[in-house]
Amino acid sequence: MKKTVLKYGSIGGVIIAAFLAGSWSFMVDNLDNPASELFGYASMVIALSTIFVGVKSYRDNELDGTISFGKAFLLGLYISLLASSFYVVTWMIISSTIAPDFMTNYVDAAIAKLQASDMSAEEIEEKAAEMRMWIEYYKNPFIKAGLTLMEILPVGILISLISAAILRRKN
């Protein structure tokens, strides 16, 4: 199982790291554009499709064509965790070197969006103060890594569940 996790987790990790490294400027420059979020999640799904391939390969080549839902899900989860680690490390490098003002720019864009809404000035200021607090939190590398992991890990868990449901096969 370890060999499968390393192989498919690394392949998925390299794919998502390449997508992130290749598209970070588009995403940073288009913080208020829904297309950048859609592109980000689509790239995660593409990269994490290695979960399905890895579980199927393990089932067919190592387990003689049978696998329980639990074992398939666990294998998918491990692959997801490894690929997600690549994503987190890539973002930590990008956000520390190339895009150190990302969170400030993100919060500024969100505040500008609030100001364009029909919210009252008090509500806007209250939400803006809360968002500015996140700029300080984001300076902590553990919080930044945790938040980054929470972007991709739910996608990996979902793909692991779907893969396990589709690929499970009893004797």
Going from the C-alpha of 51 to that of each of 4, 25, 44, 48, 69, the distances in angstroms are 10, 28, 11, 6, 14
Supply the pLDDT for residue 28.
64
For the chain, the domains span: 2-96+144-167
- Contact (Cβ atoms closer than 8 angstroms) between residue 163 and residue 45: no
| Residue pLDDT tens, the chain, 171 long | 899 999 999 999 999 999 988 877 666 666 666 777 788 889 999 999 999 999 999 999 999 999 999 999 999 999 999 999 999 999 999 989 988 888 888 888 888 887 887 778 888 888 888 888 888 898 999 999 999 999 999 999 999 999 999 999 887
Record the pTM: 0.85
* Whole-number Å distance between alpha carbons of 163 and 171: 18
